[in-house]
Amino acid sequence: MMHVVIIGVGAMGCLFGAFLSPLANVTLLGHWPEQLAALSHDRLALIGVDGRSNHYTIQATNDPTAVPPVDLALILVKSHQSEQAAALAKQILAPNGLALTLQNGLGNLEILTAELKPHHTALGTTAQGATMIKPGIVRHAGHGPTYLASTPATAGRLTAVARLFNQAGLTTHLVDNVDGLVWGKLAVNCGINPLTALLGVPNGFLAENEPARHVMMAAARETAVVAQALGVTLPYPDAGQRALEVAQATAANHSSMLQDILRGAPTEIEAICGAVVENGRYAGIPTPVNEKLHQFVINNQRLKIEDLLVAFNL
């Protein structure tokens, strides 16, 4: 049985913990006191996409010294916590262990690799959606595929991870286009996350509302143009259409950025829209949509649809 530690005890960490716990020895490692207290007193409640609840007994701790050496450290914290997560992973990995990031934004793999070296790090993306209802209760808000970027140094171990994920019901594929994987998810995140946070709406609203849908698809396509200028090929032909498909598939989900805004936590806007703006400047590509979304989130603004019409000349 694979030994798995999930670094991050939020919605996504709990979602993966619930799916993996029947098949692996799973521990959640994090620092959210209310969540740790809830999981220590009761089982994790996962509300499925169908509305049914299941309960899972999962060990949770804030003490890395209480964790035995692990085969897989699954990184599911916010991008601004990546350095801390990398240091934790280094403490708990077995000699042949692997740290796998499924985080949003750019730069997370590089932070892991600087701490752990390439042989011990891997990159993935996931379109699974989860919303934290309250400590100890998570809603699975949408199914989506998970992709793991395989390299010669990690292929064997990632094959085992993909097998575990698929057996657990998390549809997973191995790919070899690392940059395309990162930028492919980034384009979707740029379209969905800031808009849902600014408007205070679930993902599905962006698919249904014409002005919001227009801005979402424009932000995603703008990101794709920057990627293309950097020589990166995305894993789909149309970034705007892909963002729309993800918004529809995760319609009930509250994006991670919206959840951060609602609880007054720092967002990942710098690693998402901010990263597009920075790379756009480097490549000489204008990024007006991402620039505006970035600035709105930085300024902690709340928008209405009428504001979108004005801000984006719709």
Just list the catalytic residues: 185
Using DSSP's 3-state secondary structure scheme, residue 291 falls into helix
CA–CA gap between residue 17 and residue 22 (Å, rounded): 9
> Do residues 92 and 64 lie in contact, with contact meaning Cβ atoms separated by under 8 Å?
yes
Q: Which of 296, 247, 277 shows the shortest CA–CA distance to 106?
A: 277
CA–CA gap between residue 24 and residue 270 (Å, rounded): 34
Using DSSP's 3-state secondary structure scheme, residue 103 falls into coil
> Do residues 199 and 296 lie in contact, with contact meaning Cβ atoms separated by under 8 Å?
no
Long-range contacts of 209-215 (CB under 8 A, 24+ apart): 209/305, 211/305, 211/308, 211/309, 211/312, 211/314, 212/305, 212/308, 213/244, 214/312, 214/314, 215/289, 215/293, 215/308, 215/312, 215/314
